[in-house]
Structure 1
Amino acid sequence: MFDHRLISLLPDLASYIMVVNEGSFTAASKNLGVTPSALSKTITRLESALSVKLFERTTRKLVITQAGQKVYDQSVLMVNAAQQAIEVSQSDHTVPSGTLTVAAPEAFLNSVLQPFITPFLKQYPEIQLKVRALDGNIDLMKMGIDVAFKLTDKPDENLVMKNVGPTNLVLCASPDYIAQYGMPATPQDLTQHDCLYLAETARDNIWDFLKDDEFLTVKVTGRYAVNQSQLRLSGVKEGLGIGIFHDFVIKESLADGSAVQVLADWTIKSNYHGAIALQYAQTKYLPARMRVFIDYVMSVLPQRLSL
């Protein structure tokens, strides 16, 4: 049976979601248009009503409690259901409109997606598009993402997945570098070369290779490490060493001869190769703005990637 006490709790639960997502009362209060003290009182009122402690408060940060996490998870489902109710009420609208938030890895965004953003916005002038460059794991629900592009061999099984196309990793260097230092014949030869890598994690300079049934792991070194693909590509083209790139990043450089492929008969293994997956939450009612974006992407990007 419907509990009428829920009605008074709904705004507080929505405010609670904002605090968790933003990680602080100050940031959340700015988005909600209230003062931090007023928002703190809202959360205190919610804790009293639910008889649970939602946060462990310290002078430096908020830490969500175990009970708070459970409340958050259910509250997000509630807000998403409310959003779907809004979408259903607007389903008869003929013009797709509203805000669409899209996340994509920086390299894919720059090399593949960016040229299609302006044409899409011109075709659908009532849509406001927010694009975020995000690499690695993306929690769509927590981060408020509608659609995410992921470069992975293991798409999230809890999300709807559309395969935009395949992507592989390519090892390359400049012709001048190869002329001066020689072409590596095996992955082990890379230990004698300068290599450019991401330097985001402790394992970024450990590269895995596969050829038939042979699997090799090589720890590389180099004087230049950078986690931005275009900067890394510039370094490779300027002769600073050998680097790994997604095929869509290096394609034009290989075509014009400013870069050459290294160890072409070996496959580079990584969590970031396999498929370009377009993923979004399962829903019975797909908002029109999401539907037209997904249709647009699937109509233009596969051809772009196959060129």
Structure 2
Amino acid sequence: FQLLNNWETSVNILMSLDNTFVNLRSGKFDIAIMVTDKLDQGVVARKIAQTSLCTYASPEYLQQYGTPLSIEDLAEHKCLHYLDTPHADAWVFNKGKERIEIRPKWTFASNNGGALCQAASLGMGVVRSPALSVRRYVQSGELVEILANYKLPSLSVYATYLQRNYYPAKISTFIDFLVDYFAE
């Protein structure tokens, strides 16, 4: 919400925290922000950021349960699962050119990334999340990155909107604002 607090204009913001494709044709939304590698046909997509998918835990959790040093160690840890992942119940890691897929045991699952990050910050387990989503938790010391030597697929963040002959200035202005915000 800090991002939106910095947006000073007469534009009203209607936020829907949903993990499905937004139907821009419904007329309810002008722009959909999507973290994806699959874009809907018939929409214009402008890349506004790139983020890494990383693994995090709270210092308190790591002190109590130990720090996993390999992805195999995750089998002995409480893991927090994002329900709407394209990989079903698997976590995918890349080590060099090798793709490694594991299925950790979940102790908490949600379709809301913010809820998972908050749960991890409270010591409930290990979470995988886009770096942009956990930035404030990392900056405050509530979460630390673990297993950094295992590269995870990076994700693109897009502002998507309908293809039209005319674009209201508010759309391009807001998208430019997002690009500048994420560049910081």
- The question of a shared fold, defined as TM-score above 0.5 by the shorter chain, is answered with yes
1:163–1:278 CA contact under 8 A, matched in 2: yes
Q: Is residue 294 from structure 1 mapped to residue 172 from structure 2 by the alignment?
A: yes
2:82–2:111 CA contact under 8 A, matched in 1: yes
Q: Deviations over 1:24-82 (max 9, x none)?
A: xxxxxxxxxxxxxxxxxxxxxxxxxxxxxxxxxxxxxxxxxxxxxxxxxxxxxxxxxxx
TM-score (norm 1): 0.53
How has the CA–CA distance of structure 1 residues 111 and 209 changed in structure 2, closer, same or farther, with 3 Å as cutoff?
farther
Q: Is residue 140 from structure 1 mapped to residue 24 from structure 2 by the alignment?
A: yes
1:159 corresponds in structure 2 to 43
Secondary structure of 2:161's match?
Answer: strand
Amino acid aligned to 2:160:
Q
Q: Is residue 115 from structure 1 mapped to residue 5 from structure 2 by the alignment?
A: yes
Q: CA RMSD in A?
A: 2.5
1:222–1:241 CA contact under 8 A, matched in 2: no
In structure 2, C-alpha distance between the alignment counterparts of 1:111 and 1:167, rounded to whole Å: 18
2:158 corresponds in structure 1 to 277
Amino acid aligned to 1:280:
Y
Amino acid aligned to 2:172:
I
Q: Deviations over 1:271-306 (max 9, x none)?
A: xx52111111222222x3xx22322331x2233223
How has the CA–CA distance of structure 1 residues 130 and 186 changed in structure 2, closer, same or farther, with 3 Å as cutoff?
same
1:111–1:249 CA contact under 8 A, matched in 2: no
1:198–1:204 CA contact under 8 A, matched in 2: no
1:209–1:266 CA contact under 8 A, matched in 2: yes
Equivalence map 1:63-212=2 (5 Å): 110=1, 112=3, 114-117=4-7, 119-121=8-10, 129-142=13-26, 144-200=28-84, 204-212=88-96
Structure 2: gaps spanning 5 or more residues: none
> Quick check: which one's helix share is greater?
1
Instruction: Report the number of matched residues.
Output: 184
Structure 1 or 2, whichever has the larger Rg, is 1
The alpha carbon displacement at 1:226 in A equals 2.4
How has the CA–CA distance of structure 1 residues 250 and 156 changed in structure 2, closer, same or farther, with 3 Å as cutoff?
same
2:108 corresponds in structure 1 to 224
The alpha carbon displacement at 1:242 in A equals 0.2
In structure 1, C-alpha distance between the alignment counterparts of 2:180 and 2:149, rounded to whole Å: 26
In structure 2, C-alpha distance between the alignment counterparts of 1:203 and 1:154, rounded to whole Å: 13
Amino acid aligned to 1:115:
N
Secondary structure of 2:118's match?
Answer: helix
1:197–1:204 CA contact under 8 A, matched in 2: no
How has the CA–CA distance of structure 1 residues 260 and 155 changed in structure 2, closer, same or farther, with 3 Å as cutoff?
same
Instruction: Determine what percentage of the aligned residue pairs are the same residue.
Output: 22
How has the CA–CA distance of structure 1 residues 137 and 221 changed in structure 2, closer, same or farther, with 3 Å as cutoff?
same
Structure 1: gaps spanning 5 or more residues: 1-109, 122-126
> Quick check: which one's strand share is greater?
2
